[in-house]
Every structure is written in C-alpha cells, then in structure tokens.
Chains A and B, each alone.
Chain A
Amino acid sequence: MSTLTATPAPPVEEASRSRWTWLVVGVGVVIAVSAVRVITGEHEIDTPGSLRAALIATCPILMAALGGLWSERAGVVNIGLEGQMILGTWGAAYFTYFYGPWVGIVGAALLGAIGGALHALATVTFGVDHIVSGVAINIIGLGAARFLAEAYFADLDGGGPRQLTGLDRPPDITVPGLSDAANSLAEQHWFIISDIASVVAALTTRLNVMTVLVFALVGFSAWILWRTAFGLRLRSCGENPQAAESLGVNVIRYKWIAVVASGAFAGVGGGFLSLVASSGFVTNQTNGRGYIGLAAMIFGNWRPGGILTGSLMFGYTDSLRLRSTSAVHALLLLVAIGLIVLAIWRFKGKRTQSTVFAVAGVLFLVWFMTTDAVPREFTGMTPYIATLLVLAFASQRLRMPKADGQIYRKGSAG
C-alpha cells in the first residue's frame, strides 16, 4: 500500500508510513460512519449495543480465521475449521457444565485440537490431500458433536438431545465511571464525538473476559509467528519446506504443532459461540462460521492485521441480522461512499479499476436512494460475496504462503 515509489524505501520509514496510511484510513472511516449516521438519522448503525453485538459476532469468526492462519502459515490448508469449531462448541458446553467456564474454554480448545490432530495425522503424516481430509473432518465433527450431545446432554439439567442451556458464562467486565460516561455521551448522537464514545462504551460495558482473551490470542499469535524464531521456522514450513528442512527445521513437527494449534483456536471460537454469543449449546451452532473464518483469513491476506479487519467487517455484517432493516439500508450509503473514495484514490494509477469502483459506488448510491430497506438475507451473503470479489479483483495483492496446500514428505529436500 505504501510501496508505490520506484526505489524501495528503508523498512523503518516504510513501516511508519504504512502506520500513517492506516491512521488516515481509520480516521476516514470514523468520519464517514458518523456522517452517514447523521445524514440518515439511523443511529442504530453504531450505538454501543450494536457495536457490542458486532464484537461478539466477530470473536468466533476471528478465532476460526486465526486457526486458519496458523495452519496455512505452516503450509496446511485447513477447511476442516468448521468441524473443529463445532467440536469446540460441544467441548465448551460439556466442560463448563461440570467444571465451570474456565475449564470450559480449555475443553473447547481440547476438542478442537483433537480435530486438528486428526487433520495433521491425515495430511502431515500420511500425505493425504488437504482438502479431502478437511471435508472428512467436517463430516466427522458435525456427526460427533451431534452424537456426543445426544449421548451426554440428554439427561442433564437444562439439557436435551440437541442442546444444553443454563451454562455459567465467563464473567463480564464493566469499567466503572468510564462506561456510564461513554454511554451517556453516545446517546447524545453528536457528530464524531458520539461515535467514538460508542466505541469506548462498547469496550467498557459488560465486555466479556473471553472477548478480551480472543483479542489477546490474536496479538499473541502475531507476536509468536512474526517475532520469534519459532514463528519464523513455522512460517518457513509454509513457504519452502525443503529449504527449511535443509536448515535443520523439523518440518513435520512444526506442521503438526501448527495444525493442532489451528484446531485448538477454531475450537475456542466454537466455545465462544456456546458460552458467550448465545445462552448455551445447540447442535449445528456454528452455522458456517468456520467457512466465514476461512474467508476472513483470505480476505485478510494471511496476515494478523488483515484477518482482524476482515473478521471485524464480517462480524459486523453478521450482527446486522438483529438490527432493523432500515439501519442496514443506511449502510448502503456507507458502502457507496467507500467505493467512491476508493475510485478517487485509485484514479491516478489504475484507471479501469477506478472506473469499476466508481460505477459500483454509483450503483450502490442509486440502490440507497431508490429503496428503503435491504432484505435480511443479503446481509448474510456479504462476507462470501466480498471474499469472492476480493479474490476476483484483488488477487494480485493477495499472497498466500508459497507452499500452501502442497503435500510435504520428509527427506524430499534431496
């Protein structure tokens, strides 16, 4: 984004400039959202309640995406995320019921890790095609969660063959004082100030500990994968395993660690669904969120910052199911503004792309002006369509790990 100059800039300068770009983008987004809110009068698009719901919807997707990141950075495609996640929903419910929510989170990770280990066994040890194994794991995960629910939850208090409710939640945190102040400021509906207050309010009011944990895990993963020798070795297995092996990296072991961790993260994402996002376990609770996580990871270009952005976006659209259709309609204006800004930004370099953005922006504007509600189903499709569009039109900017999806055999370095 910041390397448009002909001569490569020194890394330090590049990093700081990239930081500036992101800051500008961030401020721009806040202004745009605020403007749309004031123009349309749809305050629901960023009330503290909406943002809180969006945050909760983000976490499972983020964890699945993070799981995908770990696995694919080590060169193993994991489309079994959905299955591992669904195992996590059961694990969280079972262990929370008997041992409380903290053990529940560990249980979710454990069950997910079992799914990951299965994937690692098939793909890393036996060299089975990654997609094939992933499909099988999704079948097993779905079946196992259903079976286990029926076998273990049917006779429990608050349980049934397909559900387990009344579980203890991990505690919520409210920052006293700051929370009230931010909430009342947000209610004023002032331009920009109230929007920022909404964000503060959402982060300080009844914020679940598990949400904090999820974001901490993203930071932790970013640090460990990009700032430690372990992470460098792990990523080298995804880029060029032969070279890694020739340097003495135990490729098979790193891939195993990555895939098991991947399953564990996806499992925690599933656990979040049954412990925090809803009032208990229901079969088939993930409802395709593993796939949305996969989409968020691709959308985010296999990078932690990117998957965070992607997951927040997809989480926000996911949470729109609960909002009024007119609030969703107001967002059309936001999308239109975004596309037109993008068109202006790309005008200098890429004319055709700029034109496409401009036309799309105008179309959204027309859609916004000629209708007054968006069918609910359309918001549900957003993550998938966005990912398809990004893949179709920005694939040159995407860079997946070089040896991603390739089967590696020990000693093939020759």
Chain B
Amino acid sequence: MSVVTRILGALAAPLVAVVVAMLITSVVILASGGSPGEFWSIILSAPADRVYVNIVNQTSMIFLSALAAAIGFRMNLFNIGVEGQYQIASYTAAVVVGAALVPGLLNVALGLVVAMVAGSVWAGIAGVLKVTRGVSEVISTIMLNAIALTLVGYFLNTYGVRAGNSLRTTEIPESSQLAGWTPFLDRDGAVWTLCVLAIVAGIAFSFVINRTSFGFDLRATGMSESAAVASGVKVGRMVVISMMLSGAIAGLIWMPAFFGAAHTYGSTFQYGLGFMGIAVALLGRNRPLGIFFGAVLFAFLNEQSNRLTLESDISQNVVQITQGVIVLAVVVAYEVVRRRQVAAEQSRVKRQLDATKPTTDEAVSA
C-alpha cells in the first residue's frame, strides 16, 4: 500500500463521516418540520468575536479530554471514566487551591499537581482492579463515574459554601486567578491562560508515545498483547501506568476554565467533557493532530449551535445528534477502510506467492 493511498484513506473516512452526519442531521431537521438550509447557514456563518474566543477555550478542554482517553485507547484500554476522573480532580483541586496554602502562582502549580494526582488515583483504581482482579476497565470506570458524581455531590453538600441557591467551594484568591488574553474587546471574553496546557500535553503525548521506550511498549501492547508479552513488556504494569497517566491528563481538563473564569467548583462546572473527549479521540484516531481537528470541530459545532436558539426555531440539541453520528460514522468508515486494506494486502501477498512461489519467510516479509 503506497503512502498516498494510505493518507487518502485516513482522510477519506472522517470526511465521509462528516458528510453522512450532515445528511442525517438535515433529514432529522426536515422530519421535525425545520429548515436544514436555515440550520446550515447559521452554523456555517462566520462566528462572532466572542464565539471565536469560546471556541478556542472549549477546544483546549475537549482536546485535553480526548488526549486522556487516547492514551488508554492506544493500548486497547477503554477508559470510559474520564468523566468521573476530571470531576474528582477538579473538585479536589478547587478545594486545595481555595484553601490558599501557598501564595500566587505557586498555588496554581499546586492546584495542577493536585488535579493530576487526584485524577490518576481515581483512574488507578480501575487499573489496579483490572490487573489484580481481572475486572474489565469498561465496567469499573462506568461504576466509578457514577460513584465520583455522587461522592463530589456529597462533599459539596456537606462542606460547600452557600452562594445564592447553590453550593460551591471557597473561591480561589485573586492572586491565583489567571485572567488570560483578550484578543478582541473586553466584553468578548478572554482566551484562558491555561489553554496552553493543551499544547503542552499534546506535545508531551506525541513525544512519549512516539519517541520513548514506554510509548513503544504501549503501542506494542495495543497492537498485539501476546507479542508484547513475548518481547518482555510487563503488561500489568503498563495497564496501571497508562490508566494513571490517562487519569492525570483527565485531571487537567477543567483547569483552564477553573483558573480562568470559574474560580470555584460549583454550578459553573462543565459536565460532559469526558464523554465528548472519548468521541473526539475516536474521531481523531487517537493521534494528537487528528484529535486537534476533532476538538475544533466539536467546539465549533457546540458554540455555533448556541445561535440557533436566538435566530431560529431549531433546537440547538440537534448538534449532539450530529456529533454522535459523526463518531459512529467515522468508526464504521475506519473499519471498512481497514478491512479493505487487509483484503488488498492479502490478495497482494497471494499474487506474489503465486507468481514467484518464494519460501514462507519471504512472503511474510514482503
């Protein structure tokens, strides 16, 4: 298979998926009595300045979330628990930073470390259960998601500070708040400082996966566990470590918003980023660059859809259908492409075998 067809194959699948999703969305809107033309003209119109800022902010958080999921996926480990991990981590970090144990920027660093540790511990539970007791990480992380939600709710109800109608953690000191960068007017909002975390994490991810022996072991385990075991990879250790790494990144997901805008864990907490991250990781084939484009796409759809409420009768929730269909269509497309490639490979090998009748060794290496 040549490089060109390979690249075309990789790009074709997401494009086909997006087109399919657009078609299905249009059909759904049409069936419910709306106008697809109106929908797409609103979604595809140029975003306002404020929306640009939001898209950047949301992209960074979705990107982090997808990166967290991708680490597990790269070694066939289904960390469905990103949602719970970032909830636990965000709450813990909010409590510690709110306590203002250390001054200023040191407090920010402390908060990030705490978030990563909390996230990795929560994810580590699933890793340890898998390695020691053989519990499927899919089931345990689903259970841990629900436990995390209730546990955080309990702590917030018990130790939270009342603000209006809801409870929240203590607001972080002003010296630890990170204002961010305002590219437009003040009222259009700021790109949060910690969005930079997404870039750092993306580069680190790429480096660790592609340039270190750990990353090699991780990829090897994902491609063939038996081959990895045969070449001396301690799979059990790898499972726990990658689960914890995944959890550590998950811990960072909400940090840009926390230090940039929310300043407290409460009603402003953004739920659902974990599941969105899983979807984006699948869309981007667990590669940082692919994930980046996926995150931009999802953030764009989310933010542009807000305009639907004001400018049309179409519910903005329709973009959730679009997003879900994109993911489903893209995984189907990838699978179809993969099967095609395998079939092509097989027939190519067969042709060569028939033509030259070499020994088996040569046929395998060909």
Q: Cβ of A392 and Cβ of B135 under 8 Å apart?
A: yes
Tell me if A79 and B138 are in contact (CB < 8 A): yes
Please give, as numbers and ranges, the residues of chain B lying within 8 Å of A151 by CB-CB distance.
32-34, 315
> How many whole Å from B144's CB to the nearest CB in chain A?
8
Shortest C-beta distance, A252 to chain B (Å), equals 15
Is there a chain B Cβ closer than 8 Å to A118's Cβ?
Answer: yes
How far, in Å, is A283 (CB) from chain B's closest CB? 9
Of the residues B33, B138, B323, contact of A131 by C-beta under 8 Å: B138
**What residue in chain B is nearest A121 (Cβ atoms)?**
B332
Cβ-Cβ contact count across A and B, 8 Å cutoff: 137
Number of interface residues of B (CB under 8 A): 46
A327 within 8 A of B: no
Is A127 interfacial (CB 8 A cutoff)? yes
A388 touches B331 (CB 8 A): no
Pairwise interchain contact B336-A147, C-beta atoms closer than 8 A:
no
Indicate if the CB atoms of A146 and B328 lie closer than 8 Å: no
A139 (CB) vs chain B CBs: closest residue: B324
- In the assembled complex, A9 has its CB within 8 A of some CB on chain B: no
Q: Is A384 within 8 A of B320, CB to CB? A: no
Contact with A along B124-135 (1 / 0, CB 8 A): 000001000111
Please state if A146 and B320 are interface contacts (CB–CB under 8 Å): yes
Interface residues on A, range: 35 or more
CB distance from B220 to the nearest CB of A (A): 19
With an 8 A cutoff between CB atoms, is B207 at the interface? no
B327 sits at the interface (CB 8 A): yes
| Nearest CB in chain A: distance from B308 CB, A | 10
Do the beta carbons of B151 and A128 come within 8 Å of each other? no
Judged by a CB distance under 8 angstroms, whether A291 is at the interface is: yes
In the assembled complex, which residues on chain A have CB atoms less than 8 Å from the CB atom of B147?
Answer: 381, 384-385, 388
Shortest Cβ distance from residue A127 to the other chain B in the assembled complex, whole angstroms: 6
Q: A131-B138, A381-B151 are in contact. Are A150 and B315 (CB under 8 A)?
A: yes
In the complex formed, the residue of B with least CB distance to A132 is B331
Interface residue ranges of B18-43 to A (CB < 8 Å): 28, 32-34
Q: Mark A193-209, 1 if CB is under 8 A from B, else 0.
A: 00000000000000000
Which residues of A are at the interface with B, using a C-beta cutoff of 8 A?
A: 77, 79, 118, 122, 126-129, 131-133, 135-144, 146-148, 150-152, 161, 288, 291-292, 294-295, 298, 375, 377-378, 380-381, 384-385, 387-388, 391-393, 395
* 15 contacting pairs across A/B (C-beta < 8 A): A126-B335, A127-B335, A137-B324, A141-B324, A143-B317, A144-B321, A146-B320, A147-B28, A150-B315, A291-B146, A295-B143, A381-B146, A381-B150, A392-B135, A395-B133
Interface residues of B (CB under 8 A from A): 28, 32-34, 78, 80, 129, 133-136, 138-140, 142-147, 150-151, 153-154, 157-158, 275, 278-279, 282, 315, 317-321, 323-325, 327-328, 331-332, 335-336, 339
